Structure 1
């Protein structure tokens, strides 16, 4: 699997180092890291693990993995300053994503796993996409020639959540919500739960936007006028969707047993329960793409970068899930 290094000033390089270091103990699937080998070696020494690093190609990475961390070199070199993001690194951050996707689409890698990026340094360097998800959709569209609608899912051991709206201000959510957007998000979720996760006839719990799902219109009309029509449309298409449900009672164990994924109306409604239940094990999965993409569910953690405090749990979970989604029938998918 191809792992893009993320922002090198964050914890991306060190969680990749740790995932390789613990490969046998934690049964990490084989992967290669798209990064600046010099920075990876320096970060390894800084952390006191000083692992063997071998520059390689995607085709040779699997054979290398047992004895050394395979690093496929980028064309650019990074500024090595843990905890201090630098716009000079933006070019390399984007190159790593581009090449990981290209390797996957060309069959040189089974999946794309992305380490966290920081948006501001990219924006300052001219990056024009809201985030990882939207940029991956752009790359997919460039490859397929058609429209791609990416859907973000947080997948943990006990809960999968999908936000319909993502990186927008809470005040803008009611204006952005439409019945078609909800229905499209749910359709893609149902399709990928069946096609990639192997869940026959997925059950989708649809959250309401307002407290108590609007309380019959007394706490807002969106649930009656937008969410409910979307659910009616989905059910007419044969999708097992139900709601709108009050979000405050959707996530206890008995409720979770009744569905395969929760479709939520905004970012925090989806991510708070997912991270509260499994912060170190939840995985960010992008549905709707022509390739498998997973990511840790945390950010760059600039405050602890280079201090040896970063845990690789979510990256390891992302690697394992990526392998499962890329080839459910095989426990030995290609790197």
Structure 2
């Protein structure tokens, strides 16, 4: 893990056992500070023209120093994204890095300082930060989260704003304020539902951004598109006995156009209403065979019931 040394205003060489640090969560713009620009003393320089991407790193460093943290991690400039091995390691470690930070500063660049965040139609509730894929695990993994407006006005902590955040995200407040947010403590379907309306610039990243919450590791293959989400589901089948992974529903018009999509969902969006499918608490199956994944498809033991109609359809009972 590579950190910004706030006192030296320079990047600290990577270390396996980092010191106490703060971490930044934000949405990316077009003028972000890159790893290549992070030369010694880089945060003491002044850009020749206004640059919000630079300014927010400078302000995050100032905030960390004010709070007594000598080190800061920012995804834009602390990862060498030209190195595919480093990028893959970083994405697979991201949840851990946010979980181990002393504090996470959430910078909401689209929320004005005078926003009434408690109001139902506030800009806070419409912030782009709540719509992005990567920020989901950043919200949940971080123990202490501080929200800031565009002008770096303190808006409140995750605990203080948990009711509003639950209303915005659909994530239960008890999970937000310290409950276990990862699979297997939560069902796969529930975690997928939290991400179902979020977006990422690259299609693959919507799947990769969930690796930490799902507690799995995977090789990243940029360019695979929707196949990334299928691979995530296949890895989950190999790792957990959680049948809620099959509890998804396509909209009627899409179901008619794709009647043979298989057991696995082609998209996270189909899990939007799956938050109600929880981990089984009463019974477990003892007489089933493990799930198998082959080139011919997926093999799984499920109890089937006929729907007693002329359609010839069968119903599969899921243990969730």
> Is the pair's TM-score, using the shorter chain for normalization, greater than 0.5?
no
Q: What TM-score results when the alignment is normalised by the length of structure 1?
A: 0.28
Q: Which has the higher contact order (CA 8 A, sep 6+)?
A: 1
Q: What TM-score results when the alignment is normalised by the length of structure 2?
A: 0.29
Which structure is higher in helix share? 1
